[in-house]
Structure 1
Amino acid sequence: MKKIWWIGGAVVVVVLALLVGPWAYGKFIAEDDAPAAVVSTQGAEAASGSIDGQWTVVAGQGDNQTAAGYTVHEILNGSSVTVVGTTGEVSGNAVVEGEKLTSGEVTVQVASIKTDSDRRDGQFTGNVMDISTYPTATFTIDSPVDLAAVPTDGTTATVTVSGTLTLKGQSKPVSVDMTVLHSGDSLIASGSIPVTWTDFGVEPPSLGFVTVDASGSVDFLVSLAAG
């Protein structure tokens, strides 16, 4: 009799685990990632020189460290989660003439983009982005952008930038509202580009235990130094 009771109890435990497991995961384990980095005015200074000149992407400092990546929403084991992947392996340059951004390009090493899950990152760099064939993603300025309204007092301005985004070897025109800060001898910019993944030949994973939304964003914060 005791043996029968023990077996029945074990079955109940297993059933509860199957039913409660996804709920418990969503309530106690799965959490939204911190949002993608944006320009911070914490500790910002008045501009120390002209905005005109040649600028090169550098690592940055404090809250304004160069980073790029993506933001997606997914259903993971029944739980709604916002995922942010990011990397500091970003390079690029820009030219400002007559207070206009006349050219600029940012290149991201896709293989270095990481989230909090090695399993997710493996899917991203392999089946999703095929980094062996397409190791980089780029954003290039397509037309001049007026930066005359960017303050010199350590505060920010927002400008609209038209450019070309290249993901997985496919290039599409995009538009992004970019926040710009001219602090000391640094020029700092951030933005979030809305993306429908299949427009770039990227198929969002749908693997039973995880389903990724069809759209998301490509995010960037770049710190640039003159010279």
Structure 2
Amino acid sequence: MTSAEVLVQVAELAGPWIYGTFIAEDDAPAAAVSTEDAQAATGSVNGQWIVATGQGSNKTAAGYTVSEILNGARVTVVGTTDRVSGTVSIAEQKMTSAEVLVQVADIATDNSRRDGQFRGNVMDAAAFPTATFTLAAPVDLASVPTDGTAATVPVTGTLTLRDQTRPVSIDVKVLHSGDTLVASGNVPVDWSDYGITPPSLGFVTVDDHGTVDFLVSLTRA
């Protein structure tokens, strides 16, 4: 074997290690409620609320987090969009109804090829344009502080992806700052439960599970 052939073999063997050690990077984690610039609450939580843009660290965003092996390196991928809408009803400090809709075709990462696979083969966004969370049972918000700190409350609902609806139970972090409500959470998902087949294309293999992530900023309707 010539020295050139040895170098080629070394490069082939070391390539994935080099990529994983020096090139591949995890994405930033999905957004979560921040109390950095929070204020004391003004007014009651009761009333009708709608999803708004938000501000600072608490800008509305939703998407997914998944782990994949890319060119031999394990990386965490986070896709997000701010194309989120929805409504929430609260009475007697209990959230009685809520629906949040996410525009799937607008969810993006830092890789256009990955996004093309996600919108096409994975999620078929043309046929199933929205992902939806719907509240299934009232949520007691009496424990949410009014001093600009946050509380975590259990929430049950349904999640719809690709027209497949499944029950979910999650812990949601809630902040009442000024006259704004902010909530965030991560829904664990086995993709097969929703008829979703993660890509396995040789150079990339995506895990069969991940999370659906959301941070919603709410203002009064």
Q: Which residue of 2 aligns with 1:4?
A: none
Correspondence 1:181-220 to 2 at 5 A: 181-220=175-214
1:147 Cα deviation after fit: 0.4
Partner Cα separation in structure 2 for residue 162 and residue 200 of structure 1: 18
Moved more, 11-20 or 60-69: 11-20
Gaps of 5+ in 2: none
The one-letter code sitting in structure 2 at the alignment partner of 1:117 is N
Matched, 1:103 2:112: no
Q: Which residue of 2 aligns with 1:21?
A: 15
1:9 Cα deviation after fit: 4.5
SS at match of 2:199: coil
Q: Which residue of 2 aligns with 1:46?
A: 40
Could you tell me the percent identity over the aligned residues?
66
Correspondence 1:139-154 to 2 at 5 A: 139-154=133-148
Partner Cα separation in structure 1 for residue 116 and residue 3 of structure 2: 39
1:13 Cα deviation after fit: 3.5
1:176 Cα deviation after fit: 1.0
Correspondence 1:123-134 to 2 at 5 A: 123-134=117-128
Moved more, 116-125 or 58-67: 116-125
SS at match of 2:15: helix
The one-letter code sitting in structure 2 at the alignment partner of 1:218 is V
Between Structure 1 and Structure 2, how many residues are aligned?
221
Partner Cα separation in structure 2 for residue 119 and residue 61 of structure 1: 30
Correspondence 1:58-207 to 2 at 5 A: 58-207=52-201
Gaps of 5+ in 1: 1-6
After TM superposition, the runs of 4+ consecutive aligned structure 1 residues lying more than 6 A away are: none
1:125 Cα deviation after fit: 0.6
SS at match of 2:117: helix
Partner Cα separation in structure 1 for residue 167 and residue 38 of structure 2: 32
Partner Cα separation in structure 2 for residue 169 and residue 32 of structure 1: 30
Matched, 1:36 2:37: no
SS at match of 1:11: helix
Partner Cα separation in structure 1 for residue 217 and residue 203 of structure 2: 38
The one-letter code sitting in structure 2 at the alignment partner of 1:216 is G
1:204 Cα deviation after fit: 1.1
Partner Cα separation in structure 2 for residue 95 and residue 29 of structure 1: 46
Partner Cα separation in structure 2 for residue 117 and residue 71 of structure 1: 14
TM-score between the two structures when normalised by the length of structure 2: 0.97
**Backbone CA RMSD of aligned residues:** 1.2
TM-score between the two structures when normalised by the length of structure 1: 0.95
Cα deviations across residues 108-158 of structure 1 (Å, max 9, x unaligned)?
000111111111111111100011100110000011100011000000111
Query: Could you say which structure has the larger radius of gyration?
Result: 1
Moved more, 12-21 or 115-124: 12-21
The one-letter code sitting in structure 2 at the alignment partner of 1:219 is D
